[in-house]
Structure 1
Amino acid sequence: MSPGTRGRRAAVLAGVFAVAAATLMYEILLTRIFSVTMWYHFAFLAVAAALLGMTLGAVLVQARPRTFSAAAAPRHLATSALFFAIGVPATFLLHLAIPVVPTLTTAGLLSVLITYAFIAVPFVASGVCICLALTRLPGPVSSIYAADLAGAACGCLATVGALKIADAPAAVFLVAALAAAGAGAFAVATGARRALAAALVLIAATLALGGTAASWLRLTWVKGGYERGPTLYERWNSYSRIRVSGDLEATSPPFGWGLSPTYRPTRHVGQLLLSIDAIADTVLTRLDGSPAALDYLRYDVTNLAHYLRSDGRVLVVGAGGGRDVLSALAFGQRHVVAVEVNEAILDALNHVFGAYTGHLDRRPSVQFVNDEARSYVARLDQRFDIIQVSFIDTFAASAAGAYVLTEHSLYTVEAWRTFLDRLSPDGILTFSRWHFHRFPAEIWRLVALGTTSLLESGVSRPRDHMVLVRTERGADPRYPTTVGVGTLLVARQPFSDRDLAAVRELATRLGFEVLLDPQAIADPILADLASPERLGGVVARSALDISPPTDDRPFFFHTVPLGRALRFTATDQGNVSFNTTAVLVLVGGFALTAGLTIACLAGVIAVRRRHPEHGAITVADATFFAAIGLGYILVEISQLERLTVVLGHPTLGLVVVLFALLLSSGMGSFAVGRWPTGGSSLARAAPIMVTPAVLAAFGALTPIAIPSLWTLPTPWRITLAVAAVAPIGFAMGMVFPRGLEMVRSRAPAATPWLWAVNGVASVLGSLAAVLISISAGISTAFWSGTVAYVAAAAAALWMGERVTRGHPPRAGR
C-alpha cells in the first residue's frame, strides 16, 4: 500500500470514527433531553428510534444500488456525514418547537410519533454513511468496523465530558461539529474541496452556536406544559438537569410530604423549588436560625422514626434539598450523614444557595457525602440508629440513563439486607412512599420487601419487626383525597411494647393511621404480606406485581405484569400512574417497532426481487446477522441493567458498559482481521464459535463475583466492571466482521441487506431486552443473548461450508 493510499485509508477511518462517536453522543444526549421534555419511558424509545433510523439508512443503500455503488461510495460518505451534521441541530430545534404532550391520548401519541420521526432523520444519514463504509469500500471490513466501535466507545465518554462543560442543548451543537469533522475527513480522503469547505464552515458555525446556546436556547416546554416560576439556577450533568425556581425574598406555607391534619401553620417559611428533570421535586428551605424553629417537621409522617430513637446517628439516603437533614437536626439527633449521588444537587444546596439554606455543610454534626448510597453503606464499619429513605424516586434518577427503565439498587432485597446490617442493635430503617388508597401497590411492595429481607437476615417473625403508618393526605394537591403517604419502619430487633405504645399515641395525637404493627392490622393484604407462610399466595393473586424486587429483577416501580399490560383498569396508581403507563408504552413501542421492522424487511425483499443480481443471500446469512443483532443488544442492555444496580446509577452503568463493550468489541474486530480466513468451514467460523463459550463463562461467574463488588469504592467497581465486560466485548466484536467477510467473498452486493437485517434485529432487541428483564429477570435476558450467539455460530458453520465448497454466484449475479 502506497503512502497516498495509506493516508486516504487513515482519513476514511478517522471519518468513520468521528461519525460513530457523534452518533452515539447524540443518541445518549437525546435520552438525557427527552427525560426532561417527556417522561423517562418515552426517552428510552429514543434508543429504538436511533437504531431504526440507522437501519433505514442501510435499507436505502440497498434500495438504490446504482446511486450508492462502490464507485460513488467515497463521495457519498462525505455527503451523508454532512447531512447528519446538519440534521442533528435542525431536528433537535424542531423537537423543541413541537409542543409534545406525552400522554396516552390520540393527540399525545401523535405528537410523540412526529417527534420520533423527525429525530430519526439524522440517524438515517448516519446509517447510510456507516453502511457505505462497511459494505462498499475496498479493504478489510475489520479495521472499518473497529473504527466504528472505537468511535462509539469514545463518544460515550465524550458525552459525559460535554455535559461537564455545557448543558445538553449546547452539547447537541458539539455533536454536529464532530459529525462535520467526520465529513471533513471523508472529503480529505476523496479530495472533495467543496465538501471540505462545507465541513469547515459547519464546524465553525456549530461551535459558535454551541458556545452561545446558554444565552439563547433554554427548555421551557417540559412534560406537556410550560415550566412555572422564574428560573434562579439551572445546571445539567450526566445525572440530571436541576432547576431552582422561586423568589428568594418570599415566604409560603411550609412544605411536608405527609403533614399531620392537626398541624396549623404558625409561620411561613422561605422555600425554593428544586426540580430534577422537571419531574422530581424537593425544596430548599431558608434557615436563619436553629432548625428546631421549623416545628412543622415534627408533624410529618416521614419523620416518625425520630420520635422512637433520639440523640442518635442518622444516615439520610438522598440529601436532596436538605429537608431530611433539617428534620434530624430539628429532633436533636447527635450526628447526620447525608449521602447524595448527584454532585450538582449538593453544589446547589451548599454553595450556590448555601447562604439561603444556612450552610448545613458547615455544621460539625452534619456530613455530606457525594457517593452512591448502597455502596457507601456497604463499605462502612459504623452503625446508625436511623437510616432514612424518603421518596427516593428512581424515575428521576434513571431518566439520566434511559437505556433502562427504573431499576434501582436501593429497592431490592439485597440492598435492604445491607441497610439492616448497618443498623445499631435498636436501629430503624424507614422508607416512605405514596399511598394510593384504592390500590397501594408501592406500599404493599415495601412490606413484601421488608418481610423477605428480614427472613433472609434470619428473622423468623418479620411482622414483629415492622410498623406501617400512613397519613390520609399527601403533598400532591392534585390528589387531595386519594393519595396519602405511608412510612414503613423496619427494625433489627422486634419493636418493644414501649415503641408500639409511642407509635399509637403519636398516631392518635397527629391524626395518622397505624396500618400494620405486631399487635394489630388494618388491611388483611398487609397481614398476608407480613406472613412468611402467606406472602407467596398474596403476591400471586395480586392484579399488579407486588413481589419483592431483587438485584436480578430490580424494577420496584414497574408493577404492571406484561400479561396485564393492556388491561387499563389495573394501572391507575394516582400520582405515580406514569410508572405503570411506562410498561404500556414499552409494549406499544415494541409492537409499533415490530410493525415498522416487518415493513422495512418487506420493502427490502421487494427490491431484491426486482434486482435479483444483488441477491445470493441464504437462510443461514439472514439467521446469522439477525442472531448477532439480537444477541449483542440483549447482552449489552442486560449488562447495562446489571451494572446500573452495581454502580448505583444508570448514567454510570451506561458509560461503563457501552465504553467497555464497544472499545473491546473494536479491539476484537481489529484482531479478527489478522485471523486466517481460509481452510475448512470450522476454521473459518472459529472466531465466531468462541463467543458463546466466553459468554457462558461470563454468565456463570458474574453472579459469584458481583456481591464482592459492593464493598469496594466506586473507582474500583468501575475498573473491575470494565475488566469483566471487556472479554465478552472482545469476543462479540470478532463475529460481525468475520460473517460479513464470508458473505462478501461470494455476494458483495448483498451486504447492505444483511446490515439492515442486523439493524432491524437490534431495534427489536433493544425493547425485547427490557421486556424480558422486567418479566423474567436480567439473567434471563443475558442468557437469551447467549442463545442467539449459539444460533449465530451454527449459521456461521453453514455459511463457512458454502464458502469452502466454493459455490460461485450464479450467472448474472
Structure 2
Amino acid sequence: MNERITVSKQTYAGLFMVTLATLMYEILLTRIFSVTMWYHFAFVAISVAMFGMTVGAIVVYLRPHHFREERAKHRLAASSLLFAVSIVASFLIHLRIPFITTASLAGLFSIVATYVVISVPFVFSGICVCVALTKFPRQVSRLYAADLAGAAVGCILLIYTLEITDGPTAVIVVALFASIGSAFFAADCRRKKMVQLTWVVSVLLALFVVLQTILATAQLSPLRLVWVKGAPESRPLYEKWNSFSRTSVTGNPHALEHPVGWGLSPKYTFGRTVRQLHLTIDAGAATVLIGFDGDLQAHEYLKYDLTNLVHYVRPNAKVLVVGTGGGRDILSAMAFGQPAVIGVEINKDIINAVNRKFGDFTGHLDRHPNILFVNDEARSYIARSKDKYDIIQISLIDTFAATAAGAFVLTENSIYTIEAWKVFLEHLTPRGVLTVTRWYFRGRPGEIYRLTSLGSAALTELGAADPRKHIFVAKCMMAPEGSYPLDGVGTILVSREPFSEHDLDALEAAVQEMHFDLVLSPRFSLDSTFATIASGKDLDRFAAAYPINIAPPTDDSPFFFNMLRLRDVFSRQRREQGVMTVNMRAVFVLGALLITVTALTFLCIIVPLVLTADKGSLRGAGPLLLFFSAIGFGFMLIEISQMQRLIIFLGHPTYGLSVVLFSLLLSGGLGSLSTQRLRDVSVKRSAITRMLLLLCALLVFGVLTPYATRAFQASTTVLRILVATGILFALGLFMGMAFPLGMKIASKRSAALTPWLWGMNGATSVCASVLAVAIALSASISTAFWTGFFCYAVALLTIVWASRSVKI
C-alpha cells in the first residue's frame, strides 16, 4: 500500500457528510417503515443498512484493481454521488411497492423487493466509507474520527429536520447532504466535470427540498406516502412527523357518528351521535378527537366505558392522565365532575393537533381552568413531581409504532415496569388509585395477567402484606364468543391502601349496573391464575412455568409487550393473543431475522471473502480476524444495551438519539483521533494498554449505571442528560480507539487484508444489531451489556496475540 498518498480537508469533510447522511437515512427508514409497514419491520431497517454497507466493503475487497490507491479519491466522489442519487431512486420505488402482510408468495416478494431496493444506497455508502478507511492508512485515525463525528451529528440533525419537514422530504434532505459530501470529495480529486456534476445534483436537490417543504406545510406535498400498511392512503387533514412518530388526522369534522368506546357497556344503546375525527400514530394506533361545544350531557356515553370505572369509586378527585391522546380521558374526567385534571402527553404534535390545529373542534380543552396539558414523559414527570394524585389513569397506552431506535415491542417501555409502578403508587394519596386498561383476550388474557403481576410485585416491594386486597379487575367483552381479533378490554385498579368494604361494594355495583364482568377482587377470582398472581406468593416460579411470559417487567427487562419467549417463536398456539397477536409476531420476526441475517452474512459476506482471499495474506491472520469480529460484536452490544437502559432514564425516545447515540459516537470519534499521533513502535503497546483501560471502563460503568439511573431518576432533565453523557463519554472514548489501532497493526502486516477485516467487522455488527435485542428480550439488558464486555475481553486477548505476530 502506498502510504505517501494523503488526503486534504475536503476528504475529511466529504466523509463527515456521507456518514452523517448514512446514519440519518438509516434512522429515518425506521420511522418510514413503521408507517408504511407493520411497526416490527422497522427494526429490520438497521440490519438492512448495515448489511448493505458491509456488501459495499466486500465490493472494494473483491475489485482491488478498480479501487487502487491512485484511483481512491475519484472513487470516493463517484460512490458518494451514486449514494445520493440512489437514495432518491430507491425511496421512490419503495413508495410504489405495496406491503403485503399475508403469508404468500406475493407477500414474500414485497418484503424481499423492499429490502433489496432499500439496501442499494447503503452499498454505495459502504464502498465510500471502506475506501476512505482502508486506502489512507497514515490518516485512518482522523478519517475514522470524521466518520464517527458525522454519524453523531446525523443523529441530532435528523431530530431537527423532522421538526420542520415530513418524512419523505427528509429523505431528499439526506440525499442533499450525501451530494454535498460528493462535492467535497470531487474537490480533492480535482476533476472539473465531477465537481460540476456534484454541484448540479446538489442544487437540484436543494430546490426540491424548499419546494416540497413549502407545499408540505400546506398539506399539498407532491412527494408523500402512497401505500400504508398494505393499503393506499388518502391525503389526511393533518400530518406531522417527528423523530418517534407520524401523527395524522382523518375524517369529516361535520359528520355525525356513533361514539367510539374502548369498552362501552352493553347497556349503552347508541342513542346519540357525536362528531369525531380519527387521530392515528404511524397509521396504526388510533385515538379520537371528540367534537365538544361545552355540553357535557352530549357525552354521557363516556360514563358507560370500562376505562372510566375508577371515577365511580373516587369522586372529587385530582386526576392525572398518562397519554392524553385525543383528550378522551380528560373529557371523561370532566363528565364525572372531577375538579382537577392533568394530562401528560409525550408527543407535542398530538397536543398541538388537539388544542391548536383542531382546537375549535375539540372545544379548546386546554383553556378550561381546571385542565392542564403537560408535554413530558409521564414516568419522569411524576417522579419529579411533589404532588399527590387521587387517580392516575393509563388507558391503552401503546403506539404500534417504532421509535427511532427500533420496533415498539422490541424496545423498552418505561410505563409498564415494577420501578415505574412504584413511582406511580408512591405519588398517590392514601385514597389514591392507579387504573390501567389493556386488551383482554378471552383465550389467555396475557396482558391483564401481566398487569396483575406488575401490581402485585410493585405492592409487595412497597411493603403490602396482602397485595390482593389492593387489586380489582373487571372486563368488557366487545365481541361474541369466538370472535377475533376484538375480544375485549380489561381494567385493573390498584389502590395505595387496601380497598375498603365500601369501595368494593361501589365497584361491584358499578360493574353489575354496566353489565361488565368481574375478574378479580379481594372477594372473588375468575380463575386460579388471577388469584395466584395477585397473592404475590411464588410469583417468579409461577410465571416461569406459565406458557407465555407474564412475569412483571423491570427496568432491566422492560419489554411488557414481549410475552412470547424466543424458544416458542414457531409455536402458533402461543403466538395467539387476540388483537395483540401482532405483538407476538414481532418476536417471531426477530427470531426469523436473526436466522436470516446470520445466513445472509455467511453467504453474501463470509463465503465470498473466503473464496476470493489470497491464501498467503490470510495465513496467520486469525488473531486480527477475531479481533475485528469481536469489536464488531462488542460495539453494537454495548451501544444498544446502553441505549435501552438510558432511554428509560432520560424519559423520552428522542433522547435515544440526541444523547445516547450522539455522545457515544462523538466520544468514539475523539478516541479515534487520539490514536493519530501514535508512532509505529508504540502502536502495539498502546493498543494493549488502551484495550485494558476500555475493559476497566466497561466494568466500572456496567456496575455503576443501574445505581446512577436509580439515584438520579427524579432529577431535572438537564442533570439526567449530564449523568447519561458522563456514563457514555468514557465508554465511547475507549471503544473508538479499537478500530484504528487494529487497522494500524493490520496495515503493517498486509495492505490487502484491511478491506477484508473491515468487511468482517461490518458483518459481525450486522449480526450483533439483532443479537443485542434478542439477548435483552430473552434474558435482560444487563446480560446484553456483559456479553459485549466479554467480546471486548476477547478482543484484548487477540490483540496481544496479533501484536506478537506482526513486526512493526
Q: What interval of TM-score do these two structures reach, taking the shorter chain for normalisation?
A: over 0.9
Report what 2:577 is aligned to: 573
Higher mean alpha-carbon deviation, 217-226 vs 251-260, is at: 217-226
Query: Does the alignment pair 1:473 with 2:478?
Result: yes
Structure 1 position 115, deviation (Å): 0.4
List structure 1 segments (4+ residues) > 3 angstroms apart after TM superposition: 102-106, 397-404, 476-482, 611-617, 679-684
- Describe the SS at the equivalent of 2:490: strand
Alignment: residue pair count: 797
- Report what 1:777 is aligned to: 780
Give the deviation of 1:480 after TM superposition.
6.5
Q: CA deviation at 1:317?
A: 0.3
Which secondary structure does the structure 1 equivalent of 2:749 belong to? coil
What per-residue deviation string (whole Å, max 9, x for no partner) do you get for residues 201-244 of structure 1? 1111212222333320121311121236x621111111211110
Look up the match of 1:506: 510
For the pair 1:802 / 2:808, whether they are aligned, the reply is no
Moved more, 752-761 or 527-536: 527-536
**Whole-angstrom CA distance in 2 between matches of 1:680 and 1:157:** 34
- C-alpha separation in 1, matches of 2:252 and 2:481: 21
Secondary structure of residue in 2 paired with 1:282: strand
Q: Report Cα offsets for 1:100-127 as digits up to 9, x if no partner.
A: 1245444323311210111011100000
Structure-1 residue corresponding to 2:543: 539
Write the mapping of 1:568-647 to structure 2, written as runs, cut at 5 A.
568-599=572-603, 600-608=605-613, 611-612=614-615, 614-616=617-619, 618-647=621-650
Aligned to 1:293: 298
C-alpha separation in 2, matches of 1:110 and 1:687: 47
The AA in structure 2 aligned to 1:68 is: F
Q: Which residue of 1 aligns with 2:230?
A: 224
Identify the residue that residue 94 of structure 1 maps to in structure 2: 93
How far does residue 535 in structure 1 lie from its aligned partner after superposition?
Answer: 2.2
The answer to whether the 8 Å contact 2:687/2:738 transfers is no
Which stretch of the first structure deviates more once superposed, 66-75 or 271-280?
Answer: 66-75
Q: Which moved more, 1:146-155 or 1:393-402?
A: 393-402
In structure 1, how many angstroms separate the alpha carbons of the residues matched to 2:67 and 2:248? 47
Question: 457-466 or 211-220, which moves further after superposition?
Answer: 211-220
Map Cα deviations across residues 369-413 of structure 1 (whole Å, 9 max, x no partner).
000100100011111000000010153363675498232100000
Alignment of 1:48 with 2:47, yes or no, is: yes
Mapped to 2, the partners of 1:56 and 1:322 lie a distance apart of 48
Is 1:736 aligned with 2:735? no
In structure 2, what is the equivalent of residue 356 of structure 1? 361
Q: Does 1:674 find its partner at 2:680?
A: no
Q: CA deviation at 1:534?
A: 4.1
2:453 touches 2:536 (CA, 8 Å); kept in 1? no
Q: Taking every aligned residue pair, what percent have the same amino acid on both sides?
A: 46
Paired residue secondary structure (2:288): strand
- Aligned-partner residue type, residue 569 of structure 2: A
* Alpha-carbon distance, 1:501 to partner: 0.9
Match of 2:755 among 752, 757, 765: 752
Q: Which residue of 1 aligns with 2:32?
A: 33
Q: Which runs of 5 or more residues in structure 2 are unaligned?
A: none
Aligned to 2:435: 430
User: Would the alpha carbon gap of residues 744 and 400 (structure 1) be closer, same or farther in structure 2, given more than 3 Å must change?
Assistant: closer
Separation (CA, whole Å) in 2 of partners of 1:363 and 1:246: 26
1:229-628 matches, within 5 Å, as: 231-396=236-401, 398=403, 401-402=406-407, 405-473=410-478, 479=483, 483-599=487-603, 600-608=605-613, 611-612=614-615, 614-616=617-619, 618-628=621-631
Look up the SS of the partner of 1:450 in the other structure. helix
Q: Which runs of 5+ in 1 are unaligned?
A: 807-813
Q: Does structure 2 conserve the Cα–Cα contact (< 8 Å) formed by 1:398 and 1:405?
A: no
1:648 to partner: Cα distance: 2.6
Q: Which amino acid aligns with 2:696?
A: A
**CA 1:149–1:207 in structure 2 vs 1: closer, same or farther (change >3 Å)?**
same
Kindly provide the CA deviation profile for residues 467-487 of structure 1, in whole angstroms up to 9, marking residues without a partner as x: 00000117x999578611100
Report whether the alignment pairs 1:78 with 2:43. Answer: no
Q: State TM-score, norm by structure 1.
A: 0.96
Q: What residue is the counterpart of 1:169 in the other structure?
A: 168
TM-score by length of 2: 0.96
Distance 2:67 2:616 in 1: 15
Q: Measure the CA separation in 2 of the matches of 1:654 and 1:390.
A: 28
CA deviation map 1:725-765 (0-9, x unaligned): 11100010011100110010121111000000000000000
| Partner Cα separation in structure 2 for residue 399 and residue 34 of structure 1 | 11
AA at the equivalent of 2:108: L
- Matched residue type, 1:219: L
The one-letter code sitting in structure 2 at the alignment partner of 1:222 is V
Q: 1:499 to 1:13 in 2, by over 3 A?
A: same
> SS in structure 2 opposite 1:41?
helix
Paired residue type of 1:216: P
Once residues 79 and 294 of structure 2 are traced to their aligned partners in structure 1, the CA distance between those partners, rounded to angstroms, is 62
Give 1:660's aligned residue: 663
The CA deviation at 1:613 is 5.7
Q: Secondary structure at the match of 1:409?
A: coil
Amino acid at match of 1:535: L
Deviates more, 1:521-530 or 1:641-650: 641-650
Amino acid in the other structure paired with 1:779: S
Change (3 A) 1:109 1:391: same
Letter of the 1:346 partner, please give it. I
Amino acid in the other structure paired with 1:548: P
Partner of 1:811: none
User: Secondary structure of 2:279's match?
Assistant: strand
For residues 747 and 477 of structure 1, what CA distance do their matches in structure 2 show? 70
Query: What displacement does 1:681 show?
Result: 4.5
- Contact kept in structure 2, 1:238 and 1:400, CA below 8 Å: no
Where does residue 810 of structure 1 map in the other structure?
none
Matched to 1:217, the amino acid is: L
| Cα distance, 1:363 vs structure 2 | 0.6
1:551 & 1:479 partners in 2: Cα distance?
A: 35
Query: Deviations for 1:162-210, whole angstroms, at most 9, x for unmatched residues?
Result: 1011101001001111101111101100101111111111111212222
C-alpha distance in 2 between matches for 1:196 and 1:403: 43
Question: Is the Cα contact below 8 Å between 2:473 and 2:493 reproduced in 1?
Answer: yes
Contact 2:410 2:777 in 1 (8 A): no
What's 2:724 paired with? 721
Q: Aligned equivalents of 1:482 and 1:236: distance in 2?
A: 29
Q: Distance in 1 between matches of 2:403 and 2:315?
A: 34
- Preserved contact between residue 469 and residue 487 of structure 1 (Cα < 8 Å): yes
More deviation, 650-659/342-351: 650-659
The CA deviation at 1:50 is 0.3
Describe the superposition over 1:629-665 as per-residue Cα deviations: whole angstroms up to 9, x where unpaired.
0000000000111112112333321332111100000
CA–CA distance in structure 1, aligned partners of residues 295 and 314 of structure 2 = 21
CA shift, 1:791, in A, is 0.4
The alpha carbon displacement at 1:675 in A equals 3.6
Note if contact 2:344-2:377 (Cα within 8 Å) is conserved in structure 1: yes
RMSD: 1.9
How far did residue 298 of structure 1 move? 0.3
Check whether the contact 2:340–2:371 (CA below 8 A) recurs between aligned residues.
yes
| Higher mean C-alpha displacement, 108-117 vs 254-263 | 108-117
Q: Using the alignment, how far apart are the partners of 1:149 and 1:680 within structure 2?
A: 21
Contact 2:487 2:578 in 1 (8 A): yes
* Contact 1:660–1:722 under 8 Å retained in 2: yes
**2:281 touches 2:399 (CA, 8 Å); kept in 1?**
no
Q: Shift of the alpha carbon at 1:44?
A: 0.4
